[in-house]
């Protein structure tokens, strides 16, 4: 029975893509819906999103941001104001053409992102330097009509947050852009235990309408890159077309400098693909909806074991997200597999012999290690254990990323690595979009970012051989 | 300047409707958007919504509910499955007809409510009695193409929560329906300080597709009723058309019994219209984004006063939602008006003389009362004061509701009261829809609910004079 249950998930090594979908559906993170390209986020998956929201929202508020809510509909004329922006988004917009029985005079876009609707309000709200900075964030759903979709990573509708800020000076806007990227990095590494490369996107890869886009790039356990969060310095692109002007202290009318930044439910996909294994999901304690699952093993002392399990549940509940699986219809072995598949960091087993010894058995999801702990030490031990699991999961992921990051000095090497090896390839780049395109055409890999942490590999572009002073990352990506 | 500022809000007694809009726009709760019938919820308004979410979500989780997220789009064929439901909602649906450049094979409704999409998933998830109850809630945006709109009360898009549950028996579903109504009542009265009448809707007024609808009805300070929350027992209407069946313990295949229940951002409108006065908004402490506003009065000791203000801010911050208004460009008088208009429950003034006396001046928004408090007593005093303001605001609103609730024994009285007096009218009703319609046609008032707390006014229907054993509330409403 145990054996069979585990086999229901396609092994990761056999078919990564099918493994990913199996984990999502079997662990009840999400399910397919009757709407093309849309998923249902089930309670277990949504609880992860709630934890993501809580941990990020606190960081946003600590840095002075406030939440607001803007309409989901954007009149077509508004969306078209910024030329690059509309070009980037128009192909993937869902259009509302009818309200009730009536055809609308102007089509409404279901927001693919909210720069335009928000800018139209900022031009009304911002008059003086005293009104600046404006630091607003929105938690919302957005829609992009994607050709091919994959749960959490790319769906027609998804949930995200989008920050939109306005500043007096270019410097302030750049500072904000980098501050928010740093918050994303801190969150990804410390809470999600996902190591990331942070840096700047190339001109080809930047956000439609931005001056500069910064990104954090994570490596999934099949070696592909996943863009986990982006922060854009919008410059004055939008303020000029939406006429967002303020009277500065020097008496002059000036355009504001803007930023926008966002992360989405695709982070749940990143969690699955960074940490999961053949047994299923593996969640870092800080983000796990259930941190400890108590599985009683009744033996011949059902009443006593159940009473003690309930007592432990009450004890742990104050400090941890804990659940007690006291279902009669399943065997302990079945439950072990179930909760391993669902990625709970720590399993607490308690049976008749443990009762006598005043102890419990703890089992780590990340290493499989079993540890006997005296009841009296349990709270403190668990506290340390959570920290240890969190740190170990980050270390494992970081080691995987390091082990799968290669270096290329010429185009042959670059091609060979990108086609035949999984992972990232570091190489020098001259800055030309043509070289980027050539790599993409011949390998399907893209330039992921120009990292802040630079290394000098050589002084020549790995693609064209001309002078180059930037080291960049190339990778296939989601 | 002070005088002028206050005058910017149209007096409530002069034009209630204009007063309402003035309060919303001037206190920056919300703003009109370039999208027909949609508002922007600005940070101050959204902070109220965040508090509503926090206080309700806790109650939902305590009663075993979990959050999830379902797609915003509903294929037309799905929406049409339950006949009464589609009839009720079709006239107000916004339709997506194009994705990118392509016309869709089937139109997609932007959800006006989610029963149909959720039922389509429940039919997949529910197989056995062990899968029940299913207790799911969703925080989401919904769209209803309304002919006439009013900020917060009725907008094309609004934010809400919708609970959707499935049960083994009719009794369990009815219990759940009433449990959630009771949670709404408790929340409205204890957190929003809004007294409500709870009861059942008539057949004419029930939710499209429900077996029974229960409601909480609040009285706005112009005497009109506002439906503040509803809870529906859906019976087996949806489970039969969506084929949500489970194998019961007795080995028989049965249809589940369902409920749905929701409150929305219209509660913010209810807060404004229940408590506000000529000076603007008046917020109960439990829901106020800012509970205490510190306004320093510099006099000739700016440095010292500012230092003390900051010290008090740090002190209060641990226990209260507090802000310090240290802006140089406004006078204290201007600030007093500003924060009164924005409804902050307590203003803390501190000037040079207070420094010497180790005291501060507290001013209550609900009564205008000024209270000198020694710094050493401040925390405890404020704690009690918040409770007192909360209770007093409920008492005031309850008194207003009681004072404006009248009784009619025949149709002449009923008409006279509904046309010429503001408020609710209690009257006996025979149960016939025809009598309801007659009242509506001649007075525009509707039957708000058949309250749980019944009184025997007479044994005759106030409309037709036939035998009647139900006492009901009639009122004009939003």
- Could you give the C-alpha distances from B271 to B165, B188, B286, in angstroms and in order? 28, 9, 12
Q: Which of B229, B232, B230 is nearest to B259 (CA)?
A: B232
Q: What is the pLDDT of residue A1?
A: 42
Interface contact flag, A42 B68, Cβ < 8 Å:
yes
Distance CA B137, CA B118 (A): 11
Per-residue model confidence as pLDDT tens digits over A139-188: 999 999 988 999 999 999 999 999 999 999 999 999 999 999 999 999 99
Per-residue model confidence as pLDDT tens digits over A398-408: 999 999 999 99
Question: With pLDDT > 70 as the criterion, what percentage of chain A qualifies?
Answer: 99
Q: What is the mean pLDDT of residues A91-98?
A: 95
Instruction: Map chain A to HEC letters.
Output: CHHHHHHCCCCCCCCHHHHHHHHHHHCCCEEECCCCCCEEECHHHHHHHHHHHHHHHHHHHHCCCEECECCCEEEHHHHCCCHHHHHHHHHHCEEEEEECCEEEEEEEEECCCCHHHHHHHHHHHCCEHHHCCEEEEEEEEEECCCCCCECCCECCEEEEEEEEEEECCHHHHHHHHHHHHHHHHHHHHHCCCCCEEEEECCCCCCCCCCCEEEEEEEECCCCCEEEEEEEEEEECHHHHHCCCEEECCCCCEEECEEEEEEEECHHHHHHHHHHCECCEEECCCCCCCCCEEEEECCCCCHHHHHHHHHHHHHHHHCCCCEEECCCCCCCHHHHHHHHHHEECCEEEEECHHHHHHCEEEEEECCCCCEEEEEHHHHHHHHHHHHHHHHHHHHHHHHHHHHHCEEECCCHHHHHHHHHHCCCEEEEEECCCHHHHHHHHHHHCCEEEEEECCCCCCCCECCCCCCECCEEEEEECEC
Q: What is the pLDDT of residue B4?
A: 52
Q: What is the pLDDT of residue A423?
A: 98
Q: Which long-range contacts (CB under 8 A, 24 or more apart) does B51-58 make?
A: B51/B286, B51/B287, B51/B288, B51/B289, B52/B263, B52/B267, B52/B268, B52/B287, B53/B139, B53/B161, B55/B187, B55/B191, B55/B286, B55/B287, B56/B161, B56/B183, B56/B187, B56/B263, B57/B137, B57/B139, B57/B161
CB A45 within 8 A of CB B80: no
Fold of B292-385: Rossmann fold (3.40.50)
- A62 touches B: beta carbon within 8 Å: no
Q: Which of A381, A366, A339, A363 is nearest to A285 (CA)?
A: A366
Beta strands B292-296 and B346-350, pairing class: parallel
CB B27 within 8 A of CB B152: no
- Could you give the C-alpha distances from B331 to A443, B296, B302, in angstroms and in order? 66, 10, 13
- Could you give the C-alpha distances from B256 to B128, B206, B235, B238, in angstroms and in order? 10, 21, 8, 9
Q: Which of B477, B401, B425 is nearest to B153 (CA)?
A: B477
CB B111 within 8 A of CB B231: no
pLDDT 10s digit of each residue in chain B, 478 long? 444 555 589 999 999 999 999 999 999 999 999 999 999 999 999 999 999 999 999 999 999 999 999 999 999 999 999 888 888 888 899 999 999 989 999 999 999 999 999 999 999 999 999 999 999 999 999 999 988 999 999 999 999 999 999 999 999 999 999 999 999 999 999 999 999 999 999 999 999 889 999 999 999 999 999 999 999 999 999 999 999 999 999 999 999 999 999 999 999 999 999 999 999 999 999 999 999 999 999 999 999 999 999 999 999 999 999 999 999 989 999 999 999 999 999 999 999 999 999 999 999 999 999 999 999 999 999 999 999 999 999 999 999 999 999 999 999 999 999 999 999 999 999 999 999 999 999 999 999 999 999 999 999 999 999 999 999 999 999 9
Output the CA torsion A397→A400→A402→A406 (10° steps). Answer: -140
Tell me the nearest-neighbour CA distance from A48 into chain B, angstroms. 11
Residue B150: CB partners within 8 Å, gap ≥ 6? B20, B269, B478
- A352 touches B: beta carbon within 8 Å: no
Interface contact flag, B68 A110, Cβ < 8 Å:
no
Question: With pLDDT > 90 as the criterion, what percentage of chain A qualifies?
Answer: 94
Say yes or no to pLDDT of A2 above 70.
no
Tell me the nearest-neighbour CA distance from A303 into chain B, angstroms. 22
How many CB atoms within 10 Å of residue B280?
A: 24
CB A106 within 8 A of CB A75: yes
Q: What is the pLDDT of residue B85?
A: 85
Q: What is the pLDDT of residue A5?
A: 53
The residue assigned the tokens 């029963």 is: B115
Q: What is the pLDDT of residue A7?
A: 55
Both tokens of residue A85? Answer: 């922006």
Interface contact flag, B143 A71, Cβ < 8 Å:
no
Q: How many CB pairs under 8 A join A and B?
A: 156
Per-residue model confidence as pLDDT tens digits over A359-411: 999 999 999 999 999 999 999 999 999 999 999 999 999 999 999 999 999 99
Q: Cα–chain-centroid distance for residue A316?
A: 29
Interface contact flag, A99 B101, Cβ < 8 Å:
no
Domain positions in chain B are 8-275, 292-385, 405-475
The pTM (predicted TM-score) of the whole model is 0.96
Q: What is the pLDDT of residue B2?
A: 47
Distance CA B378, CA B386 (A): 12
The complex's ipTM? 0.96
- A23 touches B: beta carbon within 8 Å: no
Both tokens of residue A14? Answer: 């056999």
Say yes or no to pLDDT of A300 above 50.
yes
Q: What is the pLDDT of residue A86?
A: 86
Q: Which of A267, A97, A133 is nearest to A194 (CA)?
A: A267
Q: B-chain residues within 8 Å CB-CB of A54?
A: none
Closest CB to B38: pick one of A66, A71, A329. Answer: A71
Per-residue model confidence as pLDDT tens digits over A194-224: 999 999 999 999 998 899 999 999 999 999 9
Fold of B405-475: Translation Initiation Factor IF3 (3.30.110)
Interface contact flag, B67 A78, Cβ < 8 Å:
no
The sign of the dihedral angle between the CA atoms of A11, A13, A18, A21 is positive
Q: B-chain residues within 8 Å CB-CB of A100?
A: 90-94, 145
Interface contact flag, A47 B66, Cβ < 8 Å:
yes
Say yes or no to pLDDT of A121 above 80.
yes
- A75 touches B: beta carbon within 8 Å: yes
Q: Identify from A34, A166, A268 which residue to disrupt to test chain B contact, counting B C-beta atoms within 10 A and taking the largest count.
A: A34
- B96 touches A: beta carbon within 8 Å: yes
- A455 touches B: beta carbon within 8 Å: no
Instruction: Map chain B to HEC letters.
Output: CHHHHHHCCCCCCCCHHHHHHHHHHHCCCEEECCCCCCEEECHHHHHHHHHHHHHHHHHHHHCCCEECECCCEEEHHHHCCCHHHHHHHHHHCEEEEEECCEEEEEEEEECCCCHHHHHHHHHHHCCEHHHCCEEEEEEEEEECCCCCCECCCECCEEEEEEEEEEECCHHHHHHHHHHHHHHHHHHHHHCCCCCEEEEECCHHHCCCCCCEEEEEEEECCCCCEEEEEEEEEEECHHHHHCCCEEECCCCCEEECEEEEEEEECHHHHHHHHHHCECCEEECCCCCCCCCEEEEECCCCCHHHHHHHHHHHHHHHHCCCCEEECCCCCCCHHHHHHHHHHEECCEEEEECHHHHHHCEEEEEECCCCCEEEEEHHHHHHHHHHHHHHHHHHHHHHHHHHHHHCEEECCCHHHHHHHHHHCCCEEEEEECCCHHHHHHHHHHHCCEEEEEECCCCCCCCECCCCCCECCEEEEEECEC
Q: Which residues 99-158 of B have a C-beta within 8 angstroms of A? A: 99-101, 107-108, 110, 117, 120-121, 124-125, 130, 136, 140-141, 143, 145, 156-157
Superfamily name and number for A292-384: Anticodon-binding domain (3.40.50.800)
Pick the CATH number of A8-275 from 3.90.550.10, 3.30.930.10, 1.10.1740.10, 3.40.50.2300: 3.30.930.10
Q: Identify from B41, B77, B95, B164 which residue to disrupt to test chain A contact, counting A C-beta atoms within 10 A and taking the largest count.
A: B95
């Amino acid at each position: 029975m145990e054996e069979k249950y585990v086999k229901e998930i396609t092994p990761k090594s056999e078919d990564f893509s099918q493994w990913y979908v199996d984990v999502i559906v079997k662990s009840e993170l999400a399910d397919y819906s009757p709407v093309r390209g849309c998923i249902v986020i089930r309670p277990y998956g949504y609880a992860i999103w709630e934890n993501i929201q809580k941990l990020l929202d606190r960081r946003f508020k600590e840095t002075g941001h406030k939440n607001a809510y803007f309409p989901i509909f954007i009149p077509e004329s508004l969306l078209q104001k910024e030329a690059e922006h509309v070009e980037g988004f128009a192909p993937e917009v869902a259009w509302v053409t009818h309200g009730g029985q009536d055809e609308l005079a102007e089509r409404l876009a279901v927001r693919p992102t909210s720069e335009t609707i928000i800018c139209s309000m900022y031009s009304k709200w911002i008059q003086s330097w005293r009104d600046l900075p404006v630091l607003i964030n929105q938690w919302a759903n957005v829609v992009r009509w994607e050709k091919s979709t994959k749960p959490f990573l790319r769906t027609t509708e998804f949930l995200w947050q989008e920050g939109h800020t306005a500043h007096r000076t270019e410097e302030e806007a750049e500072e904000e852009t980098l501050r928010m990227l740093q918050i994303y990095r801190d969150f990804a590494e410390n809470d999600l235990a996902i190591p990331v490369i942070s840096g700047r996107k190339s001109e080809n890869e930047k956000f439609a309408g931005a001056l500069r886009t910064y990104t954090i790039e994570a490596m999934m356990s099949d070696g592909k890159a996943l863009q986990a969060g982006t922060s854009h310095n919008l410059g004055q692109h939008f303020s000029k077309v939406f006429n967002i002007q303020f009277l500065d202290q020097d008496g002059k009318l000036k355009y504001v400098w803007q930023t926008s930044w966002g992360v989405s439910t695709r982070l749940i996909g990143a969690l699955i693909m960074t940490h999961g294994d053949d047994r299923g999901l593996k969640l870092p304690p800080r983000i796990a909806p259930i941190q400890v699952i108590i599985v009683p093993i009744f033996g011949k002392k059902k009443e006593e074991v159940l009473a003690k399990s309930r007592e432990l549940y009450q004890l742990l509940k104050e400090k941890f997200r804990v659940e007690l699986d006291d279902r009669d219809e399943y065997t302990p072995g079945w439950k072990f597999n179930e909760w391993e598949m669902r990625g709970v960091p720590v399993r607490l087993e308690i049976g008749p012999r443990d009762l006598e010894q005043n102890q419990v058995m703890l089992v780590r999801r990340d290493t499989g290690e079993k540890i006997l702990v005296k009841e009296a030490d349990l709270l403190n031990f668990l506290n340390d254990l959570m920290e240890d699991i969190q740190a170990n999961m980050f270390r494992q992921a970081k080691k995987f990323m390091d082990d799968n990051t290669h270096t290329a000095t010429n185009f042959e090497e670059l091609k060979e690595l990108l086609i035949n090896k999984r992972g990232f390839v570091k190489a020098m780049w001259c800055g030309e979009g043509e070289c980027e395109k050539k790599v993409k055409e011949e390998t399907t890999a893209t330039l992921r970012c120009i990292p802040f942490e630079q290394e000098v590999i050589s002084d020549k572009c790995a693609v064209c051989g001309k002078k180059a002073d930037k080291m960049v990352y190339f990778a296939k990506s989601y």
